[in-house]
Structures are given as structure tokens and as C-alpha cells.
Chains A and B, each alone.
Chain A
């Protein structure tokens, strides 16, 4: 039992962590929380199953196509739901615009794909037990994304530009950084990370339109608790959440797990609205 708690917990936790990172990438680029994070994650599973199972494309075509679709949806998110409302960000209209867009994605998927869970293809078959793709693929994807982001932010010019925008938007623009295209690239990157999460976790979560809200919530929990914008918090929190959820699931049943996660989430946020690792913002009158 312990083995399955850990293997399932790590796998699901890695998916949550990736969705958390998706929130972070969009947030650091624009100070916007987007409801599309989990929805695009859901799409990763659906598109993978569509390209590889239904259309019969080989993995090396289906996977890049899925990533490209994620990037395109990310860019559309930025253009349609974020850019028009950034001018007056203090009105929080992005909550509504991204919610609307996320719902459109979800409904479209439900109608055009299926309202039933569909199987996700087995991509690499190297063995049973822990060698099963569904356990190691999400963890591998999560690790790859963390390493990739680290390399991007630390060692490339465009990564430095991302950090500059995140640190001080006005100053970065004053330096002549193309803020708008950087933001668009961030959203494309976020879209790719989100579909990667859904793709890697496809075998566990299946290709199901209803995964969107679930991923939205469980991907947000680690980010909210770990502090907005902190990828380390997202990964640690996501893995911990996955393990806790699976343990509670096995020991007490699914309902207890959901209620427990929700209660902990509310209590921690009420005690520390900025998250366990976040800093308190000074209020301006």
C-alpha cells in the first residue's frame, strides 16, 4: 500500500506542481491569475489522446503537436483575456475574462471530444510496477520543466528579460524591453507547461473534460500556500499535496481527502493570506 501511495502520490503531485508552475509563469509575466491553467492542463490529456489514439499519429508527431497547441492557446489567452484588462488590473476583471475563456475551452471539449473519460495511449512500455509510464512520466516531466526553467532564467538573455519584467514592469519597459511580446512568450511557455502536465499525467487522469476545474483547484493550492510566483513552493507543495491526497484516499476514502485538503487550504490562507512563504505587501493610500 505504501508503495502505491508514494507512486501515485508522486505522479499526481508532479502534475499539480506543473499546473502550479503554469500559474506562476503567467503571474510573473502579468500579475494575473488565470483560470486557464488547469483547463489547458486538461487539454494536454485530451489532445494527446486525440492525436495519438484517435488520429493514429506517432508519438514524435503527436507530442510536439500537443505542445504547439498549448503554446497557441497560451498566446490566445494573453491576447483575448489578459491584454485588454491589464490597463485597469486593480479591477480584477481578468478573473472574469479568464474564467469565461476557461469555460469556453471546457464546454468546447465536452461537446467536440466527449463527456466521458477516454483512455490515454501508452507511449513507452518498459515494464510493470514502478517502471509503469503513468508513475515516472509526470515526475520526469516535472523535473525537466524545473531544470529547463532554471536554465532559461539563469543562462539566457530572454530569461533575464522575463525576470526583469517580473521584478519591475515599468523599469523594464523604460529600459526598452518589449514587454508585450515577452508577456506573450511567457503565456506561450505557460501553455506548453500546462499541456505537458496533462500529457504526462494522461494515463492517470485520462482524457477527460472534467479534469480542468480539478486541476485548476489542486494546482492553485500549492501556489497559494507556497506563495505566488515561487516555483520551489509550487513543486514542494504540489508533491506534498499529491502524497497527502493519495494517503488520505487509501486510508479514509476520497471524500475525506477532498474535505481535508479544502479545510487546510482555507485555514492556512485565512491565517496567512500571502501564503506560507510569501511577503506582505505594503498598502498604499
Chain B
């Protein structure tokens, strides 16, 4: 018993995180101070530029979740700025209906922005990147055309006056503080999202969609929320923009603006808040101080984008990421701590078996799996071996819902699991790893592992946005669980390191830690020993056995015959999609055909 009560080796998670917070916070505090003190300079031209930068950042901060975090190439986002500007202006000017007060008009603009954000974003759920980029472009063109043509309401080419906000926001610096305040709130909200399970899930969708699905993340609902939020905020920015312009015509909303928003994010760096903030300030301010550049500004932005994409995909954020340039210890050892396992995998009572009944699946003319029957019992390690192309990984993909079998079914106890629904496996606590580790390279190891526990969170998107208590409880719990899982697999020392700096073998263990976050009843491992040293394989074997002894059923797809025969309770040998032999290691080892084909003895 003292094994579990013994204090954990190191890495009390709170201290380094708190320190990391401070380290990440000071640039924002500096910028905030500078922003607050700006009116002291009493330069009205500077005031206009600063107000514009604030307004742009309001839009970019929320678009950042779409482009920088979720990786959706929304290049026509100026459409929502236009929409918000016109809705606010038209409602306060009273060209269509009796004039409304500006705050109400701004709120209505936000609602319409949210609706159109979802409409523009909808295609992202089905379409590939370039297609989606095109649809946002097309939408941007149409909004401008409608603004031009709908003369009775928008004033057509003549335009419509922008809203004027009541005291104290009607003076130049008053309006500046209004915009600055909204920008600060947006920064805070999006930073909250970035540090929440939603922000991590968005990045997971971008970089490792398959792993995100296995962790139970639903791409459609998550993206819809983000498009809704981003559309609403963009429309608010539009209302502010119209007020700053005092008078708006369709000419004010050129595609160049869209380019500016989009490029500010990419120059700043995907998955960062500070980077795009600096990018926005840079792109807004720079042309103002280099007058000859104004005509060439969009050309230069585009050239900058090209350079960033080709030479520095990480953007400003990566340049500023000093922490991850410190060298890592050279000779690292992965030392799993199986004594911690009982705290990760709570033992529960009676557990059902996972059964495959008559599964068949063909790709074209090839029968990948042919009427396969297989039962994985809780608390056992079940090995699945066979030559390349015998259907091992296909079987695993059928169980985890990526492939729908043409016949047969997968049962958990007596319940049939839904087909073609990988994101619903996590709810049944079926976890898996992948043949090539699916990592989120730019995120820390800890964050990668926390992805695995996404569905355990209880707080809603809005609670995370406003950092309400339930969100903070979720984060604390996820953080602790992830540290525990990392300790179990022996990687707790690397928790704060960027995942793409890890060695291959460490990534394999990281994936197991991520799978453990579900406290799985069944764990599917796809060649976890590939690329590991002999000693690492031995430790992996001990870890797998220890996991199974907590009551978890493990399906192990592997080529290392030694590992399979050492640790498995049952083995199934596949050949051409059919079961060649099945039984205990001893039975399989003496099976004539198996011996001939694989063991070569």
C-alpha cells in the first residue's frame, strides 16, 4: 500500500504552471499599460490609429480561434465586419426602421454576426481547406454587392452614417477607451478559451483530427460554437469600425482588410494569442509611419505571408518561445511508475467483454477482414498478430469506429456499438493509440495528454470564455489527471516540453498516457513497441500488463513476437483477414501453421 501513498517523484503541477502563467502574462500587461497611457501623448492622429488597431484586434482575436487554433482557412472574414458595420449603422440611422440606440444596434449586430458566422462556417464541416477558403471569399464578394445594390437601406454607393456612441464615449479618447476596453475583454476571453479544453480541442482538430475523434471531440459542434462566437465579435468590431469611420460606403470594406486580418494571425503564429496581437498592431501601425509603403502595403503583407509560410511557419509566437529553445537532457529514460496506476484506472465491479461478431470488410476487391469473431475480456491482454495486410489495423479501426464493417457487429457486453462514429467511442471508455503517433506538435506534452480527457470536462464554452468556477475546476482536475497519467508512463519530467521535441519512443508512451485519461475499460494499442529499444519494450510490456490487471481489456496489435508471447493472456493470429489460430500463448506457439509461417522454428 505504501506504493500508492508514497509521494510522487516530482512535478507538483501547480508551481510550474503558475510560474508559466506569469511568464506568459507580462507582455499583455505591458501592452495594456501602453494602451492605457496612450492618451497622455495627446496626439489625435495616433489616437485614430490606436483606435483602429483596437477594433481590428477585436475582430482578429476571435477570428484567431477559427484560423489560428482550429486551422480553418477563413480568408473572407471582412464580410462579417461589413455586416456588423451596416447593421449597426442602418439601425442607428433609421433608414429601414425607426432609429435605435447604438448599444441596442450593436447587440443586434452581434446576433446577426453570430448567425452569419455559422452560415459562413457551415461549409467547413464538409469541405476541404481550399474549398472552404473559396466559399468565404465568395461570401465576402456577395456581402459587398448586396450593400451596393440595396440602396433603400444601405444607401448604396453613397453610404450611410455610422453610429455615435453616447457620453462618455463620444469624444475621440472616450471612444478609444471604449474600443480598448472591448479589445481587452476579447483578449481575456480568447485567452481563457485557449487555455481551456475547448482551445486544446480546436488545436487537436487542426493538427491531429483522428486523435481528436478518438478522444471523443465532436468537430461539428465545437466548430459551430467557435464560428458563432467569432461571427458575433466580428460584427461588434464592424459596429465600432463604422463609428470610427463616421460614414460608411461599400468601398471601405476592401478585400485588403480581410487579407490584413488573416495575415496578422499567421504572422503572429498559429495557436497563440500574443503573436496575432503583435501581428495586428504591426500591420495596422507600420504603413502609417512609412507613407511611401501605403500603396504597397497589401503587396508587402502578401510577401510577408509567403516568407512566413515557407521559412517560419511558427510565426512571431515561435520566435518568442524561448522556453522551448532550452536544450533537453540528452540521455533521458522512460521509467513507468505502475504503482500510480490504481489512481489512474479506478477499479470498478463487473465488466462486460468486447465482442466482434462476424465482421467483414472489403476495400475494392480485397477482403481486409473476413467474418472475424473475436472476444476481448476485461483484465486480459489480447494479442493480435499476423503478417502485413492480414487485417490487424483494420480490425482495430472497426472497433474504434473509423471503418464501418460491411457485415457483423461490435458488441460491448450486449450493446452494439454505433458504426462510423469514432468520436462516440470515448464515451464508452474505449481508448486507442496509433501506428504513427498522432501528436499536436506545437502543444506541450501535458496538453497533448489533457486532450485525452476532454469529455471529462463539465463546464460549457461560455463558462470557459468567462473563466467561471466550473471551468477552473475542470482545468484543475484535467491537469492533475494528466500529470498522474504522465507519471504512470514515466514522462512527468517532460510535461511542459513541446511535443514535437520528443523522441519517437517517448511519443509512444505519451499516446498511452493520453489513452489512460479516459480511464479506459478497453485499450487498443496499435504497434506500441515499434521503434522502441529492447529495454523500453520490456518496460512497455510491464506497463501493459499492469494496466490490464486493473481490469482494463487490452488489445495489442504487434509484430514483436517476443513481447506478444511474454505478456498476452490470449492471442489471435490473423492471415488474409481470417483467424488462423487463437488461444493461449502456449496453444498458439504449438500451432503448426503459425510456427511455419511466423515463428520459423
User: A interface vs B, CB < 8 Å?
Assistant: 33, 80-81, 84-85, 92-93, 95-97, 99-101, 103-104, 107-108, 111, 213-214, 216-217, 220, 224, 253-255, 258-259, 262, 265-266, 269-270, 273, 282-283, 285
Contact = CB atoms under 8 A, between A and B. Distances in A.
B145 A258 contact: yes
Contacts, number: 107
A176 to B, nearest CB: 26
A170 B519 CA distance: 42
A216 B73 contact: no
A111 B123 contact: no
Contact of A282 (B149, B295, B363): B363
A270 B122 contact: yes
Contact of A92 (B122, B129, B302): B129
A178 B131 CA distance: 30
A270 B141 CA distance: 20
B126 A270 contact: yes
Interface in B294-313: 295-296, 298-299, 301-303, 305-306, 309-310, 313
B401 to A, nearest CB: 10
Given A96-B305, A262-B139, A269-B127, A85 B310 contact: yes
A93 B309 contact: yes
A84 B310 contact: yes
B363 A253 contact: no
Given A92-B130, A100-B306, A269-B126, A111 B210 contact: no
A84 B122 CA distance: 31
Contact of B134 (A96, A101, A108, A220): A220
A224 B302 contact: no
12 contacts: A85-B310, A92-B129, A95-B130, A97-B309, A99-B305, A100-B302, A103-B298, A103-B301, A107-B298, A270-B123, A270-B127, A273-B131
Given A85-B310, A270-B122, A285-B397, A95 B296 contact: no
Question: Looking at chain B's contact residues, is the secondary structure mostly helix, strand, loop, or mixed?
Answer: helix
Contacts of B303: 100, 104
Interface string B57-96: 0000000000000000101000000000000000000000
A99 B75 contact: yes
Which of A103, A253, A270 has the largest count of B CB atoms less than 10 A from its CB? A103
Contacts of B127: 269-270, 273
B135 A265 contact: yes
A130 B73 CA distance: 43
A202 to B, nearest CB: 22
Interface of B: 73, 75, 122-123, 126-131, 133-135, 137-139, 141-142, 145-146, 149, 210, 255, 259, 266, 295-296, 298-299, 301-303, 305-306, 309-310, 313, 363, 393, 397, 402-403, 434
Contacts of B295: 111
Contacts of B128: 92, 273
A80 B295 CA distance: 24
A95 B133 CA distance: 8
Contacts of A214: 141
A231 B266 CA distance: 34
B142 A97 contact: no
Given A97-B309, A253-B149, A217 B141 contact: yes
Contacts of A269: 123, 126-127, 131, 135
B297 to A, nearest CB: 9
Nearest to A81: B306
A107 B302 CA distance: 9
A259 B135 contact: no
A164 to B, nearest CB: 21
Nearest to A256: B149
Contacts of B309: 85, 93, 96-97, 100
Given A84-B310, A104-B306, A266-B123, A213 B137 contact: yes
A111 B299 contact: yes
Contacts of A107: 296, 298-299, 302
A258 B143 CA distance: 10
A217 B170 CA distance: 41
Given A92-B128, A96-B305, A253-B149, 20 more contacts: A33-B130, A81-B306, A92-B130, A99-B302, A99-B305, A100-B303, A101-B302, A103-B259, A103-B299, A103-B302, A104-B302, A107-B298, A108-B299, A111-B296, A254-B145, A258-B142, A266-B135, A273-B128, A282-B363, A285-B397
Report the 10 A-B pairs with minimum CB-CB distance, sorted nearest first. Answer: A103-B302, A107-B299, A100-B306, A33-B130, A100-B305, A92-B129, A255-B149, A104-B302, A100-B302, A96-B309
A283 to B, nearest CB: 7
A224 B299 contact: no
A255 B305 CA distance: 32
A259 B143 CA distance: 9
A116 to B, nearest CB: 14
Contacts of B302: 99-101, 103-104, 107
Contacts of B123: 266, 269-270
Contact of A283 (B255, B306, B393, B402): B402
B425 to A, nearest CB: 13
B374 to A, nearest CB: 19
Contacts of B139: 262
B318 to A, nearest CB: 15
A254 to B, nearest CB: 7
Contacts of A93: 309, 313
A269 B137 CA distance: 15
Most buried by B among A85, A95, A214, A273: A95
Contacts of A111: 295-296, 299
Contacts of B135: 265-266, 269
Greatest chain A CB density within 10 A among B142, B146, B302, B305 is at B302
